Structure 1
Amino acid sequence: MDKFPKGAILPSEQGSTYTTKEFFEVARKKNVIRSMSRMGTPSDNAPIELFHSSLKSETFYINKEPIGSNNIVIDSVENYITFWNNKRVLTKLGHLSPVDYRKKMT
């Protein structure tokens, strides 16, 4: 993936892959903000973990067919993000989608 929106945030754990100098440089060159939980505090990234859990359970886990290509995964994730932001209502947002909630608050 070569195109990232300005200010894109990459949540990750503190594993060796994500803490290498090489990974840091790639993220910096692509203007991606790295976000990690503090050591021993996995709740720091709880919002994105909830999103990932919903994404997997509402898309990939309900499919009986194996995923055939990276393009299918990319399309599924992009479609789900659009759905999540624009259509999926959340109780904590007064039964509004995130986009509708933001519009109402401004």
Structure 2
Amino acid sequence: MDEQRDIGPKIEKSFELIGKRWTGLIIYVLMSGPKRFSEIHSMIPDLSKRMLTERMKELEDNDMVVRHVSAERPVRIEYLLTKKGTELGKILGPISQWAESWIKE
């Protein structure tokens, strides 16, 4: 990139959101389809329930995730990505491929 660009507020806000710990991983997990809270938590075991609750609320507030409550008994609550969240999730696939190649365990 030869030209210097001014980083606008939209770019700054997007990096702030996805740069928060666990956010990208939660979106990555939801790319495979709707999940219950407990399923997300079991797929990311180092993530505390408190922090998962906080991140899910942030993702909902930013229209990236929808909390769907079923009318059946017992009540079933699932989280799924919105179109906005899915579009972001699409760029996380190449990041995971990069990680497989370059990150050491």
Structure 1 length normalisation: TM-score? 0.33
Larger RCO, structure (CA 8 Å, separation 6 or more): 2
Structure 2 length normalisation: TM-score? 0.33
